[in-house]
A and B are shown apart, each in its own frame.
Chain A
Amino acid sequence: MARRAESAGQTMSQPMLALEEVCASYGAVQALKGVSVHVHAGEIVTLIGANGAGKSTLLMTICGDPRARSGQILFDGQDITRQPTHAIMRGGIAQAPEGRRIFPRMTVMENLIMGAEIAGHDPARDLEHVFTLFPRLKERATQRGGTLSGGEQQMLAIGRALMARPRLLLLDEPSLGLAPLIAKQIFAAIRELNEREGLTVLLVEQNANQALRLAHRGYVLVTGRITLEGPGRELLSRPEIRAAYLGGH
């Protein structure tokens, strides 16, 4: 209840991330058709939607790849719509992309270091941080990324993103292909990051049930348009959501 009030209070202030009427396309395929999404500091916001709805595109567009055709993306009130990707990623946003995309031949350590290197700070403290969050990674520090299990790879992908000390973390389907128990661990880690460290998270998920339980607010994306938005638990109780994304139970 306290969290709900807190996030409602923040709605008044300026959002950390604001997408205003963003359109994006791949060639002739228009993937986003005027999407507006707001994320406030300290929130977990989730984005749910069917396959091909444009969720990954939305996260990638925030990073400037593909670039928004029209509309505006503001981060901390600053217009980042036209900034090059590497500049955006240095400005406090990090993404654990869909399908994890860790560097398979590099070791766990090297993968993590890559995350910090771009930001240009000493990685020692951040390594400690990631290893406390995911002790499994510490055990496997010298193992090659490609030989980790799916769950470990996901931990690595999140850890790598955290190494850049982001203020906003974009997560694209972190539970993809994971056993329920491991998925639960990942969600627990996200909650911990949010509650303990105040990390702001924009979470894309197929696992709508868990995502909406975890998130303060949620958006529903249908073929490039936002059709619904609201507090996570409220969306969870909506019959149309239950029917479309929760298998009707």
Chain B
Amino acid sequence: MRFRLALRDAAVTGLVAAGLFLPMVALRTDVAPNGALFLRTRWSDAAILITLAALARFVLVLWLGRRIPVASTASPWWEEPLRRAGKLLTPLLLGVAVMLPFIPGTGRYELDLGVLVLTYVMLGWGLNIVVGLAGLLDLGYVAFYAVGAYSYALLAHAFGLSFWICLPLAGILAGFWGVLLGFPVLRLRGDYLAIVTLAFGEIIRVVLVNWVSLTNGPNGMSGIPRPSFFGLPFNMSGEPDTFAGFFGLEPSPLHRVIFLYYLILGLALLTNWVSIRLRRQPLGRAWEALREDEIACRALGINITTTKLTAFALGAMFGGFAGAFFATRQGFISPESFTFIESAIILAIVVLGGMGSQIGIALAALIMIGGFEVFRGLEEWRMLVFGAAMVVIMVLRPRGLVSSRTPTVALGKRKAISGSLVGEGHG
């Protein structure tokens, strides 16, 4: 009985795999030496993949039956220890983050990776205000990242303003764009909101590509001023008015990287601090209430308009800060850095982290961005491994890595609310 079932399932799986792999693997266009395109067929590769898929399904069904792995709605065994460890985990992670540049064995590569991870941690925390707290599904968050980056580049170019003046300006401009996006979508929720925000992200990118006179179009903007240490530039000359000279250090290219690292760490922690503070304020609670039930919010007299707009504006502002940081770190920006996939990654971090959990988002960014780098050796299989890992995590932990939620008010002592009570997949 089970054997026949397995056989049937394997056949279905084989068909699905064939549907996927025949166009994606078996047929491939290549460029011939004379420059013409030609179609290369890889039937054997496709056949191997299809057979593997069918075989895997056959073995799986034979072995386990057709049981679908049950998503654990109860707290998994590791959540309670994690929560207890969580009290240690947060300071531990923070400690490692602060000490990283001085941990022996940390070189340029580790620091650059740290900067990258922290950038996404910050973006995740910023988007979390909109998606995790206010429950407004935003698929175009990268637009604000782009606005921040281009604001810095343009302001620095046009007016020669320093990074420290441009940084708040970039945040304010991005926040302003957040409000601009917020107005037309005030009445939208769920899927419709997602589509409009997705379009918004693309519009910003398309404008950046096409407004060549302002943004230099697809060629991007280069020569963006690098940050200085409050006026002391980082360079190798060792003059007294440089960072190394002023502090009497041996000039080293690492100084700037370390400075950038602490800069993004500070910005990320600022985002975190503001989010945590706001959650305990009426505004933050109004965001959460809005996520829970918009009609109830209206019946309670919450001003839906300002609540939504502030969520968009604040989320966008932190995106803008991160964008300005990105611009000064790279020294070069082009619209290519602000494609939809960036929005998707940031959203994935928020969802994977558990929608609203600050530490969960930090962990998710570490796993996603760090893991992505670690798998670099796998080359083109990287995306596959990565996608599979995401699917596995979402099947096992449908509510994200850390799904418990700390109440914002308590009678006596604060008690975390188990993740099993947290809804999933709401619109």
Contacts and interface: CB of A to CB of B under 8 A. Distances in A.
Interface of A: 63, 65, 84-90, 94-97, 101-107, 109-110, 113-115, 117-119, 141-142, 144, 146-147, 160-161, 164
A103 B292 contact: yes
Contacts of B304: 86
Contacts, number: 96
Contact of A90 (B286, B301, B407, B421): B301
Contact of B407 (A106, A160, A161): A106
Contact of B299 (A97, A105, A109, A146): A97
B283 to A, nearest CB: 9
Interface in B393-427: 405, 407-411, 415, 417, 421-423
Given A96-B299, A114-B285, 19 more contacts: A63-B299, A84-B303, A86-B301, A94-B301, A103-B289, A105-B423, A107-B407, A107-B409, A107-B410, A109-B407, A109-B409, A110-B285, A110-B407, A113-B285, A118-B282, A118-B302, A144-B417, A161-B300, A164-B300
Contacts of A63: 298-299
Interface size class of B (residues with CB under 8 A): 20 to 34
B289 A65 contact: no
Q: Which of B285, B286, B300, B422 has the most CB of A within 10 A?
A: B300
Contacts of B301: 85-90, 94, 118-119, 164
Nearest to A88: B301
Q: Which of A85, A141, A146 has the most CB of B within 10 A?
A: A85
A161 B299 CA distance: 9
A153 B410 CA distance: 19
Interface of B: 282, 285-286, 288-289, 291-293, 295-296, 298-304, 405, 407-411, 415, 417, 421-423
A104 B302 contact: no
27 contacts: A63-B298, A65-B298, A86-B302, A87-B301, A94-B300, A101-B296, A102-B296, A103-B292, A103-B293, A103-B296, A104-B292, A104-B293, A105-B292, A105-B421, A107-B409, A107-B410, A109-B407, A109-B409, A110-B285, A110-B407, A113-B285, A115-B300, A117-B285, A118-B282, A142-B411, A147-B421, A164-B300
A203 B360 CA distance: 45
A120 B299 CA distance: 16
A2 B285 CA distance: 45
A110 B300 contact: no
Nearest to A63: B299
Q: Which of A88, A89, A119, A164 has the most CB of B within 10 A?
A: A89
